[in-house]
Amino acid sequence: MQIGHDHRNDRSRSPEYADPALRLGVLLILLVPCTDWFITFSQLGNGNVPRAIAVTPINLLLQLLLLPFYLWLMLGAELSTALAPADIWPALVVVLVPLAAAALSERWIEARPEREVFRDRLAWWPIPLLALVVFLIAAAQVGAVQGALRLLPLIVPLFVVFLLLAALIAKGLAKLMELPLDQGRTLAFSLGTRNSFVVLPFALSLPAGWEVAAVVIVVQSLVELFGMVIYLWWIPRKLFRE
């Protein structure tokens, strides 16, 4: 008699796109917009950095409040078996500790005007550092990535199309709301980037059998990294050019 319910057996019998871990990874990525390196990309892409910084705390707090609802909505009855309370706290610490460090650093810089130079010199650091984190996580998950290679033809085109649509939607919204060019560029970088560094700790906290969710987020991060390089050329020079 089988007492438990083996989700891995379900995945072997079901179509790949019906895999609950695959759906969880994709939805987590698409529902949670970026609150970190889109600011740096906005600066490099001649966007409006002050407005990007102003909306970031509100965006991040809303995401942290809505994330449990998202998880419940995506997993339903499977939430209690996939994520126990003991699994959530380490993921929250990974998110909240850097956030607290960033707030303290900001206060330290604002205490004296001469410290502004540190902010200016470190402004571009998030991109290479976050890229390094992405590659390190991908290396740590190499076994799961190899096991999920069959999914790449499904998820890579999805994320590429998302990047294209995000930029075009930003263009349409900027035109509709008559936004200045710099704000339109910031909107494009905001819509095009996802907050994988908030949802990834939760995906990594999932038990055995749900590794695909983390793989999807890692793959999206890699696609986004290369996509943002293209954005830096396309957004200011073509889509939102002077």
pTM: predicted TM-score of the whole model, two decimal places: 0.73
Residues in the chain: 242
Distance CA 86, CA 64 (A): 17
Task: Give SS3 for 33.
Answer: strand
- Bridge partners, residue 33, by sequence: 194
Task: Give SS3 for 141.
Answer: coil
Distance CA 10, CA 20 (A): 9
Distance CA 40, CA 185 (A): 12
Return the structure tokens found at 100.
């607290």
Distance CA 226, CA 239 (A): 18
Could you read off the pLDDT tens digit of each residue along the chain, which spans 242 residues? 333 444 444 444 444 555 777 887 888 888 888 877 788 889 889 999 888 888 887 887 787 778 777 777 766 655 555 555 565 666 667 667 777 777 788 788 888 888 888 777 776 777 787 778 777 766 766 666 666 677 788 889 999 999 999 999 999 999 999 999 999 999 999 999 988 777 777 777 777 777 788 888 888 888 998 999 999 999 999 999 88
Nearest to 220 by CA among 194, 183, 240, 184: 194
Number of H helices, E strands in the chain: 13, 0
